[in-house]
Amino acid sequence: MFNKTVRKIREKLGHFFLPSLLILFALFLFAITFSSVKQKAVDYKEGQVATESIRANKTIENTAETEQKRKLAAEAVTPEYSYQEDLAAQQHDRLTNLFTLITKANKQIDDEYKEKVDKAKSGTNVPKPTADERVAALKKEFEEANDEDVALFQKLPNQFYQTIMMMTADEIATIQTESLKLIDEQMAKQIRESDLENFQQEATDKLQYLNITAAQQQDIRYLINLGIVVNDFPNEKRTEELREAARQAIQPVMIFQGEIIVREGSQIDATAIEKLKLLGLTSKNTSIFPLVALFLTIVLQVLVLLYFSHQFQEEEQQLKFIFFYVTAMTISVVFMKFFQMFQTEQLMYIALFFPAAFTPLVLSYFLNRRTGVMSALFQVVFALFVFYNSIGTNFLVITLITYLFAGLMATVVKHQRISEQGFSAVMWVVIFPVLMNIILVIYQGMSFGDGKTWTALICGLAGCLLSFLLTMGLHPYIELMITDDSMIVLNELSNPNHPLLKQLLEEAPGTYHHSMMVANLSANAVAEIGGRSLLTRVACYYHDIGKIKHANFFVENLPAGAENPHNFLLPEDSKQIIFGHVIDGAKILEEYGMPEMVIDICRQHHGTTLMRYFYVKAKERNPEITEDQFRYPGPRPQTREAGIVNIADSCEAAVRAMDHPTNEKIEKFVHDLIESRILDGQLDDTGLTLKEIRKIEKSLINGLSSTFHSRIKYPKMKSEAEKMKEEQERRDA
């Protein structure tokens, strides 16, 4: 219960109880999680054997490896070329122009020579034009050509000009035709720098098949080497664009937080050292940031807890809320740490054994749904610290989402005992979380042919089943710890051998039987509206326990024919005795440490109703008497259960006292009584709805009618009974 021991500690500490509780809670969480986030100082060197698996402490780009991959990608790009198709025509035109100038120059020289011969006297020898003169005349003609053509013509050796200028027109025409044919044939192809000589040689090789002189072949070779040029040029700009695109297409090579750099027992090689240098792990001092984050998380939880506790108006409820939450969350983190201690590379998914739904489910049931949601969220946050060494791994993703989903699903479960919900609870607590595990496995791309996948799924299923079984099995004991009206306590109190019930039976038997009847009526009515039936039954057993002090002053305990003692008392004295059974009863129940709600129902079962009989008698003697003086001290019923007991108690007593009760009389009386209690405001604070009141009325009528209505005696049944008795006597004889 909340809890005699805790109450004593609270009484001793006074106002320091809550701060002390929260400080201890914070210190405990920090202590139990500290070992998970504490970092060790290390100094790794190449060739060293790792004593434990070294994981990346952050997510960072492996710049060296990224650059290497980008360089390879750029080098793998095929260079782009630009093919200048019009260059063949340009070369053809330029060479054609060259031959035109050669023909023109030769013609001019020949014309001048002929003119000189014609003018010379008979017998005078006129020297023929030399090759140099012809070449000079040709180069004079070059002055009329454009600069690009001249630049091309000048690339031809002087030997070419001297040879061709001395040839005949037919020989020159042959050279022009054949050279241009060979050049055009090759220039129609895509010629790159690396293949230029091959194309030129291919054209030259064809000269051997021509019927020309050696001099002509040589001049054609000169022209081939001049006319066949590169027409497919490297497009450096486009190539560089492609290389840059290839470089950009390479995704950065990342080292992910939690990734294993070196496995335990493996030697640290140069590649690993480079990664460790990049991560700053080759010589690492301890970092305080994880510890600071853990501390701030604990502080945040305490602040949220304190703020959340203000939803409760009474200090007692606030303390109960905080104490129960602190206890449940502490147990949750301890469980989490327990599974983390056994976690290894081979048993990575053992953490899924953790019953993530247990704490949210318990808090949601015993406190409220919002508390369950809060615990589910903070469970996930603390899991982040407990499993700190797994940050960045697939395992942590699966674990955190599994914890969160299972915890939140638990808060959706109806506010009812798990054992009473059956398949519905199994769906929320087991089936749906397991389906989420399967989805996460698929999302991570884990193969169903891999044993690790099935290990993860089996561990997840085991964790869900453990949550369900723990909640169902420990429910009565958790209830016993935090409430004073747990199932176990109520079962003990309902035992007829309880000292108070035995005393009530011995000293006030009529009251005892009345209490049993009221218990049956009230419990059945409460069950109809979904209230706490067992608690109501137990409360009814003890609601009139105060009558044992003056048992004979209550009519149900008087022997048959005995005169009512109130006939000898003043109405005011009778009132005090009757009132006393409520006050005395509550005091007796408190002395026996009864559940608070049992005591409350004892106080409230008469509410502030009017003790009409003695009020009328007193009014006859003293007209100044007011109703308030003859009303029960109350308070009025504060719960649905107390309101039902209030009605059932009066109905049972009145119907018992009826002469020849019939179903009609019982029905009318119950209806009128409920109506009068509503008009008197006795049910205003119970929270009962009109629909529930109709159900209660029907339940009470059925219960009273089956017990008290007049029964018809059937002669046939009597004669059959006598006949059976006679037969039995004959057999015995």
Chain-centroid distance of CA 114 in Å reads: 108
In this prediction, residue 351 carries a pLDDT of 83
pLDDT > 90: percent of the chain: 23
| Averaged confidence pLDDT in the chain | 84
Mean pLDDT of 396-408: 87
Inter-residue contact 357 to 409 (CB < 8 Å):
yes
Going from N- to C-terminal start, the domains of the chain cover: 4-37+286-483, 42-62+253-284, 81-234, 505-715
The model's pLDDT over 242-269, given as tens digits with 9 standing for 90+, comes to 888 888 888 888 876 667 777 777 777 7
Half-sphere exposure of 210 toward its Cβ, with a 13 Å CA cutoff?
22
The model's pLDDT over 160-219, given as tens digits with 9 standing for 90+, comes to 888 888 888 888 999 999 999 999 998 899 998 888 899 889 999 988 888 888 888 898
Work out the number of other CB atoms within 10 angstroms of the CB of residue 719: 10
Query: What SS3 state is found at 251?
Result: coil
The model's pLDDT over 10-21, given as tens digits with 9 standing for 90+, comes to 777 777 788 888
Mean pLDDT of 585-593: 91
Chain-centroid distance of CA 291 in Å reads: 24
Alpha-carbon distances of 554 from 159, 499, 551, rounded to whole Å: 152, 21, 6
The full length of the chain comes to 733
List, in order, residues 6 or more apart from 663 with CB less than 8 Å away. Answer: 701, 705, 709
Query: Residue 415 above 80 pLDDT?
Result: no
Mean pLDDT of 586-610: 92
**Most confident region among 26-40, 345-359, 361-375, 414-428 by mean pLDDT:** 361-375
Beta strands in 87-236 (DSSP E): 232-234
Residue 8: which pLDDT band, with cuts at 50, 70 and 90?
Answer: confident
Query: What SS3 state is found at 130?
Result: coil
Q: Exposure of 494 by Cβ count < 10 A (0-12 exposed, 13-18 middle, 19+ buried)? A: middle
Alpha helices in 483-595 (DSSP H): 487-493, 499-507, 509-528, 533-542, 571-591
C-alpha 376/C-alpha 614 separation (Å) is: 59
In this prediction, residue 3 carries a pLDDT of 56
C-alpha 684/C-alpha 667 separation (Å) is: 23
In this prediction, residue 390 carries a pLDDT of 64
Query: Residue 155 above 90 pLDDT?
Result: no
Query: Residue 516 above 90 pLDDT?
Result: yes
In this prediction, residue 711 carries a pLDDT of 44
Inter-residue contact 231 to 183 (CB < 8 Å):
no
Half-sphere exposure of 153 toward its Cβ, with a 13 Å CA cutoff?
25
pLDDT > 70: percent of the chain: 90
The model's pLDDT over 208-235, given as tens digits with 9 standing for 90+, comes to 888 888 888 898 999 999 889 998 888 8
The model's pLDDT over 522-566, given as tens digits with 9 standing for 90+, comes to 999 999 998 999 999 999 999 999 999 888 888 887 777 677 787
Residue 708: which pLDDT band, with cuts at 50, 70 and 90?
Answer: confident
Instruction: For domain 505-715, give the fold.
Output: Hypothetical protein af1432 (1.10.3210)
> Model-level pTM?
0.60
CA angle, 508 then 629 then 550, to 5°: 15
In this prediction, residue 365 carries a pLDDT of 86
Query: What SS3 state is found at 283?
Result: strand
Mean pLDDT of 478-494: 82
Work out the number of other CB atoms within 10 angstroms of the CB of residue 88: 21
Tokens of 106: 């030769």
329: closest CA among 438, 407, 251? 407
In this prediction, residue 714 carries a pLDDT of 41
Inter-residue contact 692 to 529 (CB < 8 Å):
yes
Half-sphere exposure of 625 toward its Cβ, with a 13 Å CA cutoff?
20
